Amino acid sequence: MECPHLSSSVCITPDSAKFPNGSPSSWCCSVCRSNKSPWVCLTCSSVHCGRYVNGHAKKHYEDAQVPLANHKKSEKQDKPQHTVCMDCSSYSTYCYRCDDFVVNDTKLGLVQKVREHLQNLENSAFTADRHRKRKLLENSSLNTKLLKVNGSTTGICATGLRNLGNTCFMNAILQSLSNIEQFCCYFKELPAVELRNGKTAGRRTYHTRSQGDNNVSLVEEFRKTLCALWQGSQTAFSPESLFYVVWKIMPNFRGYQQQDAHEFMRYLLDHLHLELQGGVNGVSRSAILQENSTLSASNKCSINGASTVVTAIFGGILQNEVNCLICGTESRKFDPFLDLSLDIPSQFRNKRSKNQENGPVCSLRDCLRSFTDLEELDETELYMCHKCKKKQKSTKKFWIQKLPKVLCLHLKRFHWTAYLRNKVDTYVEFPLRGLDMKCYLLEPENSGPESCLYDLAAVVVHHGSGVGSGHYTAYATHEGRWFHFNDSTVTLTDEDTVVKAKAYILFYVERQARAGSDKL
């Protein structure tokens, strides 16, 4: 947004003597000494932590306003007000009075001068060396970023995602998608798109809530986020630009309240699909998909128009059979899908843990069988029979006509009651490898011996009791090792820990033909 407070708040000039030593992204808060999310005040150059750490940057602004309340209005305007600060990691500028990120500058261009000065400090050889040593010390002390492999010490290249205020639902989905290799590689290989021209050409783009829809690209910000992960150049990345694009094009996710991770995933995939169909600024992305030989035409599934990488990888087809119980008329319909939402059978809903003794453990096979079994529709779902010419009782059954390359299974853990939405906290047993989907196919005889086997790539877990509260984390496998992604923290874990998780969303990748298999 265009901030009107820059002239009264931006008073510092690029002078290294006024800034702390070291690289800006590792500066410590002057109050709590935390080096997470440092922000520098553009009035006095003091450094404080962001609102999602201990909030001292905001408190610095609030404390500066208290003396002003005792002065006349004219005196307020003459005195610097400490309202504008800059993120020392992403160099974006924020105004607390406007409560938004800032895109304009002062007449003398002071904001851009400070930004360039901080970038020079960060990029200098001396501060880069200090920054690497600091991260190495952190990683050694926490023992989470180093792993001994064959007697030698290897660094973990995984990068966490900072929580921007109840954005764990987004972080868990992004980390899961980043570990689906074919999907992630497609976006990382896309050419960068410059959304600005003229004076701002070549500068880094900062998306804010006040920009128009034509100035944002979900594909571009998604690409940037995926490129930032797994590089090992930083312990955590702030996906704020992607988050504000999400605010623009997905109104349901505006604000900082907790959201449903599955709902976000569906909105994200749908909007990526739509934008890839149309391209950005007239530049078509579909040509890149057509040139990608690994996504053959026979594996594409069109949803709402032409095929994209989204439908080529996640797209499958269901056959929905409905039979009238009065006249026996059968109706068949083919529906494309990007994921399958599975009920947890009612007989298992009181079983909360794997080791609980009362009754058998619910398995993923039980959920899949419940989804595909013949079901008699109740009175509220009467079928309009074209032969009887009125609504009649009927049965319904799903078959999978075509399996996707990546099978996304959503376990329906949240159910509405008369007054609130309850969580089904049942443990569901799921395989790490060898999930066999052949028995759920419409024509299993036409599939090869290995084409129906899937191996687990990622799991999203919801911790807590309700959809509007709690916390999301994710497990994912990368180069044969399992990682746990908890916002900005990434730790190595093992298969025993993963299989004990109460899964909410499971991502299974089609197994490539190879000798031997373990079946569910």
pLDDT of residue 470: 84
Find the catalytic residue in 5, 415, 471, 478: 471
Q: Is position 60 annotated as part of the catalytic site?
A: no
Q: What are phi and psi of 407, to 5 degrees?
A: -95, 115
Asked whether the beta carbons of 226 and 187 are under 8 A apart, the reply is yes
Supply the DSSP symbol for 239: -
pLDDT at position 433:
93
Nearest to 24 by CA among 3, 45, 5: 45
pLDDT at res. 516? 41
Q: Is the dihedral of CA 34, 38, 40, 41 positive or negative?
A: negative
Per-residue pLDDT 10s for the chain (520 aa) are: 678 888 888 887 776 567 887 778 788 899 988 888 889 998 888 999 887 788 899 899 988 887 655 554 444 445 667 899 988 877 788 888 888 878 788 888 888 888 888 878 777 744 455 445 455 545 544 444 444 333 333 445 788 999 888 899 999 999 999 999 999 999 988 887 654 344 444 444 444 333 444 567 899 999 999 998 877 666 788 898 898 899 888 888 887 788 899 999 999 999 999 999 875 434 444 444 444 434 443 444 556 567 899 999 999 999 888 888 888 888 888 899 999 999 999 888 775 655 555 668 899 999 999 888 888 887 777 888 888 888 888 888 888 989 999 999 999 998 776 666 688 889 999 999 999 998 888 776 666 655 689 999 999 999 987 666 789 999 999 989 999 999 989 999 999 999 999 999 999 999 875 434 445 5
**DSSP bridge pairs for 369:** none
Tell me if the pTM is above 0.75. Answer: no
Distance CA 305, CA 371 (A): 27
Buried b (16+ CB within 10 A) or exposed e, 59-71: ebbeebeeeeeee
Number of CB atoms found within 10 A of residue 385's CB: 21
Gap between the Cα atoms of 458 and 473, Å rounded: 11
SS3 178: helix
Cα separation, 85 vs 57, in Å, equals 8
Domains of the chain: 6-66+80-126 (3.30.40.10), 159-191+216-275+306-350+360-515 (3.90.70.10)
Who's near 383: CB < 8 A, 6+ residues apart?
A: 322, 324, 331, 377, 391, 392, 393, 394
Q: Active-site residue 471, yes or no?
A: yes
Structure tokens at 149: 């492999």
pLDDT at 24: 83
CA distance 339 to 506: 10
Phi, psi (5° rounding) for residue 457?
-110, -35
- Which residue in 3, 29, 85, 168 is the catalytic one? 168
CA 206 vs CA 130, 196, 209, 210, 216: distances in Å: 28, 11, 10, 11, 10
Residue 478 pLDDT: 92
pLDDT of residue 214: 53
Beta bridge partners of 48: 39
> Look-up: residue for tokens 């990622």?
458
pLDDT at site 165: 82
Q: Of 364, 362, 352, nearest to 456 (Cα)?
A: 364
